[in-house]
Amino acid sequence: MSAKCIPPNRPRSLHKLGCMIAACSLAPVALAADNPGAHEHGHARLQMAVEENRIDLMLNSPAYNLAGFEHGARTDAEKSRLADISRWLETTPLINTAAADCRVTAAAVELGGEEENHDGDTHHEDGHHDEEHHGEATHREYDVSQQLECNRIDADQEFTSALMERFEGMAELTIEWVSPSGQGSARLTPSNRAFTVNN
Amino acid sequence: MNLRLTLSLAMASLWYRRRVLALVTLTLTLSITLLLGVQYLRTEVKQSFTNTISGTDLIVGARSGQLNLLLYTVFHIGDATNNIRWSTYEKLQEDERIGWLVPISLGDSYRGHRVVGTSEQFPEHFRYGRDQQPELAEGEWFADVFDVVLGAEVALTHAHQTGDRVTLSHGGGKTSFSNHKDTPFTVTGILAPTGTPVDQAVYVSLEGLEAIHIGWESGVAIPGRTVTPEEARQRDLTPDAITAAFVGIDRKVLTFQVQRQINESQLEPLSAILPGVALSELWRIMGQFEKALLGITGFVVVTSLIGLVAVLLTLQAQRRQEVAILRATGASPALISALHVIECVLLAIAACGLAILAGAAGIAALSPWLLDTWGVQVGLRPLNATEWSIIASVPLAALLVGLIPALQAWRGSRKQGLGHVAPE
């Protein structure tokens, strides 16, 4: 295959490119017990496993993308915002077909991470990360799992995600999908909300 | 108005201009074939690329990024930073959700080609393309410790046949100064071309790789410590470590669950990646290439349509007498201009039909050569919706560009001076 898309004189540069991109832009696949997981505001990852008419979803997103803040809810407005978000995540399918064939049969929403230390610390909302400068603030993440039941899923089924529409902080959503006939990924942005799964 | 007479005259006119029209159709056919070919190849190359490995649900290696792991295990580009322990591999084998495991051990080479140490599970479970199994063009898979199976390209480049003796080199690179010359391998099989990096690789058993490294330290053979092939066969050749493992999961829906557990494994730092996901990620990086092809495709269409209009307008100058006769038979200016449009669309449809036939014949004829010479796998398949819409857009565009000569014909025929014919 390398002869096909990678000219013979370029493997090294491609390798460098691959490594560079893997190191810089991709969220590392490892969520190991000993390394802290990657946390990038504006970006979230949705894993999707399709089996017949059932779809298992697992969304991992910094809380900032959904709520606009990552500190513990202080005001009533913030508390009700978090409650709204949880309700929405529990009841709305994170992905759906154009005909809205899928409905949520089970869902679990978890807002992980520790409460931050309130003493004299200011929260940041600039999407920039530098742990050294605000070591006392912790990042919080949503882990949402949903089980969907769909009326029908075609061989080349197009799906859209309502996440971008509902949450303005979601600038990029990486979809990783697995179906009996293969695997693939897609990168959704606010202007491109559709992707196709080969079922 | 005598419609039948008009049509028969139009047919006669077509027949009279058959040579020029055949040339126009040929030009258009070539353009459409090119357009269709570019679109078809674009889809096929993408498909072929994302199917470089198929059927494998996870690739497990030492902790690294997903592209790095994919590049060194599947494309044989770059090197592994770390290995995984054999005990970890055995632990993974115990997992009930995992259907099969294929070990992969890298690090040696044969005249610049990667040597892949694996097990008999490899031919059984490794798939590429649309669930295709790597097949042997001749011979059989390795059975002995010192048997080797060559990829198609390797055998072709070095003119190897089954029964040949080969010496593997320590480490990668084309020129290695440390060769495993005490332990030569016998070629037992040569793989058929696959159009994947398999063609460029050399396959031996894990035991074989272990055997040739007995008595080697820090990449050098220690004199007096190396063994003969016979002595090596007597030893326990279970490896201590392997580079990576291909994993098949019985229920695909559990893939992410197994991936998460492996990534969080306490045995040692591991990375499990989904090859299909990593491949589509890699394809996105190379997306510029795809966009360039699309741009070329667009230019091809525009150019060929401009060519069509130019030819039709040139022809029109020669058709004054014909238009006069048509007008004399009672054809209205509207009918004459309609004939132009119909002619244009019919030519486009004929060209489309011919282009599909030419394209199919071309792909059928060239695909074995493409695979053998370039390692590009392009097969015949039914056209997809995008390709059909491209084909459909050609007569549609012809209809639109046909309006230009039609309008001219309408104007011209009104000025022809045969008077206005009242409708019947």
Q: Is residue A57 part of a domain?
A: yes
pLDDT tens digits in sequence order for chain A, 199 residues long: 333 333 344 344 444 444 444 444 444 444 445 567 778 888 999 999 998 889 999 999 999 988 888 888 888 998 899 999 999 999 999 999 888 889 999 999 998 865 544 444 444 444 444 444 444 457 888 999 999 999 888 888 889 998 988 898 899 999 999 998 888 899 999 888 889 888 6
What is the per-residue pLDDT for A120? 41
Asked if B272 and A29 come within 8 Å (Cβ–Cβ), the reply is yes
Q: Does the residue A184 lie in any domain?
A: yes
Q: Which two tokens stand for residue A192?
A: 């491109």
Question: How many A/B residue pairs have CB atoms within 8 Å?
Answer: 137
For chain A, give the number of residues. 199
B102 pLDDT band, cuts 50/70/90, is very high
Q: Does A100 touch chain B (CB under 8 A)?
A: no
- Tens digits of per-residue pLDDT, B285-308? 877 777 787 787 778 777 877 877
For residue A59, tell me if it sits in a domain: yes
> Given this model, what pLDDT does residue B374 score?
67
Kindly indicate whether the ipTM for this predicted assembly is greater than 0.85, answering yes or no: no
Task: Say yes or no for a CB contact (<8 Å) between B254 and A2.
Answer: no
**Domain boundaries, position A61:** 41-114+137-199
Question: Could you give the CA distance from residue A93 to residue B330 in angstroms, rounded to a whole number?
Answer: 67
Residues of chain B contacting residue A158, judged by C-beta atoms under 8 Å apart: none
Q: What is the dihedral of CA A65, A66, A69, A75, to 10 degrees?
A: 170
Which residues in chain B (310-369) have CB-CB distances under 8 A to chain A? none
Q: How far is the alpha carbon of B370 from chain A, nearest alpha carbon, in Å?
A: 10
Is residue B317's pLDDT more than 50? yes
Whether the pLDDT of residue B273 is over 90: the answer is: yes
Q: Is residue A16 part of a domain?
A: no
CB atoms near residue B256 (< 10 Å):
22
| A56 contact B CB<8A | yes
Higher pLDDT, B293 or B339: B339
Q: What is the DSSP string of A118-134?
A: -TT-----SS---TTTT
pLDDT bucket at B177, cuts 50 / 70 / 90: low
The shortest CB-CB distance from A11 to any of B64, B77, B256 is to: B77
Q: Tell me the pLDDT band of B2, cut-offs 50, 70 and 90.
A: low
What is chain B's mean pLDDT, rounded? Answer: 84
* Angle (CA) B326 B330 B332, round 5°: 80
The Cα–Cα gap between A169 and A175 comes to: 17
Report how many domains make up chain A: 1
Judged by average pLDDT, the poorest of A125-134, B101-110, B122-131 is A125-134
Quick one: pLDDT at residue A29?
A: 43
- Strand B202-205 relative to strand B113-118: parallel, antiparallel, unpaired? parallel
Residue A1 inside a domain? The answer is no
Helices and strands (H and E) in chain B: how many = 14, 14
CA-based nearest residue to B244, from B68, B48, B54: B68
What confidence category does residue B417 fall into, taking pLDDT thresholds of 50, 70 and 90? Answer: low
Could you tell me if residue A104 is inside a domain?
yes
- pLDDT number for residue A114: 55
Name A111's Cβ contacts closer than 8 Å, sequence gap at least 6. A63, A82, A86, A140, A141, A142
Residues 6+ apart with CB under 8 A from B327: B333, B336, B413, B416, B418, B421
Q: Say what the pLDDT of residue A16 is.
A: 46
pLDDT of residue B336: 80
Chain B nearest-CA residue for A21: B67
Distance of CA A24 to the CA centre of its chain: 18
Smallest CA–CA distance from A16 into chain B, residue: B78
Q: Answer yes or no: do B67 and A18 touch at CB < 8 A.
A: yes
Mean pLDDT, residues B274-286: 88
In a domain, A132, yes or no: no
**B259 lies within 8 A of chain A by CB:** yes
